[in-house]
């Protein structure tokens, strides 16, 4: 898998871990791509990449950069794809604290391209400003442990059971040139099994 990635990204700890783990290295492959269009100042932002179906790109694949999560593939043509950025009202990324298994959903409120919010974190969870946030194992789109950002503030309103946590995103969306499309080779198997289990419950 290393041959599929530029040296700069292989130096990223997440990919090093995946390559070193024989099980995970068989689960993910990466397609390098160039950003040919990008927006950051809309309520719903997209990127266009120079890779498409002929390169193996499919809808709902994850997209990451050397610094962290970027978004999810939305539409694919023969030679291009569009990506729903983290900076989009419908994007939700399963995110956890790097030093624990407590997790929540990362969303963007549309106000600042550098800041997102982590929701659904119970009020008993202990954390500090500056704590690192990464992707969880619960996603079939992103490998576990991809950088998301750091805690930059939080609020717990009286009567609430969950924090609203401000996250400074690790990816600079205004300065993206090359990204990596993630192909989870075991995604269909996992989702198929889970659908089968749920359908059995319905009978």
More confident: 101 or 19: 101
CA 14 to chain centroid: 12
CATH, domain 2-88+172-186, list 1.10.3430.10, 2.60.130.10, 2.40.10.340, 3.40.50.1000 = 2.40.10.340
Over 80: is that where the pLDDT of 25 sits? no
- The answer to whether the predicted template modeling score (pTM) of the entire model surpasses 0.85 is yes
| Average pLDDT over every residue of 191-201 | 89
Band (pLDDT 50/70/90 cuts) for residue 201 is confident
Domain 93-169 has CATH 3.40.920.10: no
- Assess whether the region 2-88+172-186 and the region 93-169 belong to the same CATH fold: yes
Both tokens of 169, joined, read: 């995103």
Give the model's confidence band at 1: pLDDT under 50 very low, under 70 low, under 90 confident, else very high.
very low
In angstroms, what CA-CA distances link 180 with 27, 28, 35, 54, 157?
15, 12, 10, 16, 39
Domain ranges for the chain, please list them: 2-88+172-186, 93-169
CA proximity to 126, closest of 101, 146, 106 = 101
DSSP character at residue 138: T
Sign for the pseudo-dihedral over CA of 86, 4, 188, 27: negative
The half-sphere exposure of 119 on its side-chain side, counting CA atoms within 13 A, is 10
Q: Pick the closest to residue 32 from 184, 185, 181, 183 (CA basis).
A: 181
- Burial class of residue 93, CB neighbours in 10 A (0-12, 13-18, 19+): buried
Average pLDDT estimate for 49-68:
96
Say if residue 2's pLDDT is above 50.
no
């Amino acid at each position: 898998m290393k041959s599929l990635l530029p040296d700069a990204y292989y130096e990223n700890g997440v990919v090093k871990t995946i390559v070193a783990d024989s099980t995970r290295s068989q689960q993910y492959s990466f397609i390098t791509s160039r950003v040919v269009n990008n927006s950051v100042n809309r309520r719903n932002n997209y990127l266009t990449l120079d890779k498409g179906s002929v390169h193996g790109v499919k809808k709902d694949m994850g997209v990451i950069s050397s610094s962290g999560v970027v978004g999810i593939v939305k539409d694919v043509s023969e030679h291009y794809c569009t990506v729903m950025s983290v900076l989009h009202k419908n994007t939700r990324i399963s995110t956890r604290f790097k030093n624990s298994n407590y997790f929540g959903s990362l969303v963007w409120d549309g106000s600042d391209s550098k800041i997102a919010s982590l929701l659904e974190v119970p009020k008993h969870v202990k954390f500090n400003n500056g704590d690192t946030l990464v992707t969880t194992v619960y996603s079939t789109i992103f490998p576990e442990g991809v950088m998301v950002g750091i805690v930059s503030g939080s609020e717990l309103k009286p009567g609430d059971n969950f924090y609203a946590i401000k996250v400074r995103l690790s990816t600079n969306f205004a300065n993206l040139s090359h990204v990596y499309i993630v192909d989870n080779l075991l995604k269909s198997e996992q989702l198929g099994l889970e659908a089968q289990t749920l359908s059995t419950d319905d009978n």
